[in-house]
């Protein structure tokens, strides 16, 4: 006879995993703000810029232009970080999204 599944335990585990993933995403978004220098802006200005980006992202061409610019930003950071790795022995210096896939929220 099969052992019955503990659905409640599975749901708790999934809920805990979802909370962990949300916390990681928030942390990475904060790192993204810092890495791009947007932390120098006051909160109202940053919020306004983000809202303008969200509202202005109507066309796929505009989204692709932003994506490619973001990917280029992380490629530049990764190259700079590698030069510093040989001298300092520290991490890759790529920061959030340094995988180069253009998705800093990963």
Q: Tell me whether residue 69 is in a domain.
A: yes
The mean pLDDT of 33-45, rounded to a whole number, is 94
**Number of other CB atoms surrounding residue 97 within 10 Å:** 22
Q: Tell me whether residue 78 is in a domain.
A: yes
Domain with 77 in it: 60-85
How many structural domains comprise the chain? 1
> Whose CA is closest to 96, among 28, 39, 23, 36?
28
CA–CA gap between residue 26 and residue 22 (Å, rounded): 6
Longest alpha-carbon distance in the chain: 63
Q: How much is the pLDDT for 18?
A: 97
Q: Tell me whether residue 3 is in a domain.
A: no
pLDDT digits (tens, 9 = 90+) for 52-105: 888 887 888 888 999 999 999 989 888 776 554 444 444 444 444 444 444 544
Cα of 51 vs its chain's centroid, Å: 17
Q: What is the pTM of this model?
A: 0.59
Q: Tell me whether residue 29 is in a domain.
A: no
Please name the residue that has the structure tokens 């991490």: 91
Contact 104, 30 (CB under 8 A): no
Q: Which one is predicted more confidently, 13 or 60?
A: 13
CA–CA gap between residue 101 and residue 98 (Å, rounded): 8
């Amino acid at each position: 006879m099969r052992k019955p599944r503990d659905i409640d335990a599975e749901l708790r585990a999934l809920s805990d995993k979802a909370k962990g993933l949300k916390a990681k995403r928030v942390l990475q978004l904060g790192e993204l703000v810092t890495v791009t220098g947007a932390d120098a802006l006051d909160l109202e200005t940053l919020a306004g810029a983000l809202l303008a980006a969200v509202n202005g992202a109507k066309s796929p061409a505009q989204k692709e232009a932003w994506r490619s610019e973001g990917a280029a930003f992380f490629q530049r950071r990764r190259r700079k970080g590698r030069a510093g790795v040989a001298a300092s022995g520290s991490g890759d210096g790529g920061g959030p999204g340094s995988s180069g896939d253009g998705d800093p929220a990963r």
